[in-house]
Amino acid sequence: MTHPDRSESDAASLAAANTRRHRHSFPRRPSSHSISDNIPRPRNASKVAMKELKRLLGYDRKRWNALRTCTRFAMLAADLESDSVWKSQDQEKISMLADIVYVDFPETARFEDAWGIRLIARHSLRSQKSYRRSINDPATYHGRKALARRRVDTAPPVITRMRRPLAPYNDDDGQDV
C-alpha cells in the first residue's frame, strides 16, 4: 500500500538531491573506479603539459585526439563563450562540458573535480582565440597562410592554351576544319 504523503516526500527528496548535485561544479566520479585510480589535481594544474595528461590516461595518439575533438564539440554543446576568458565562463556550462565528455570517455572521470577536462578545454579555448587574433595579421604564420588562401581565391582562373579537338568539327560553312 503506497502512501500519498510518502511519494510526495520521495519526489521532494529526489528534487533536493538533484539540486544538491547541480550545486557541485562537477559531477561525482562513477563508482566503477577505485580510489587508487583517482588522478589528484596538482598544485599548479596550468603547468601540466598535454603530453602528461595523455600519459596519465594511458592513451595512444588516436584516442587522445578523439578526446580533444570530443572536448571541442562539448564546448560548443555546452555553449561556452568563445570570446570570454576562461575565468568568466559559467561553472554550470563547464560542468555540462564535463558531463558530455564523461559519456564518451568515462575514464576521464578519474580526474579529481574534472581538472583534466577543464585543462584541455581551457587550452583549446586559448588556442582558438589565438588563431582568431592572428588570422588577419600577415606577420604571423596563420596570417600568411590566410593571405595566401585569399590570393588564390581571388585570382583569375589560369587559362591554358586552347587545344584542337580530337575529332574533326564543322565550321559555319559546313566544311571540315
- Cα angle for residues 49, 65, 134 (degrees, 5° grid): 70
Best CA proximity match to 39, nearest among 49, 53, 22, 24: 53
% the chain with pLDDT above 90: 39
In contact, 110 and 37? CB cutoff 8 Å = yes
Please name every residue paired with 170 in a beta bridge, in sequence order, or none if there are none.
176
What local confidence, expressed as pLDDT, does residue 177 receive? 54
pLDDT tens track for 4-59: 555 555 555 545 545 444 444 444 444 444 445 888 888 888 899 999 999 999 99
Query: How far is residue 129's CA from residue 107's CA, in Å, rounded to a whole number?
Result: 28
Residue pointed to by grid coordinates 528534487 = 15
Domain boundaries, the chain: 50-148
Three-class DSSP category at 34: coil
What local confidence, expressed as pLDDT, does residue 166 receive? 64
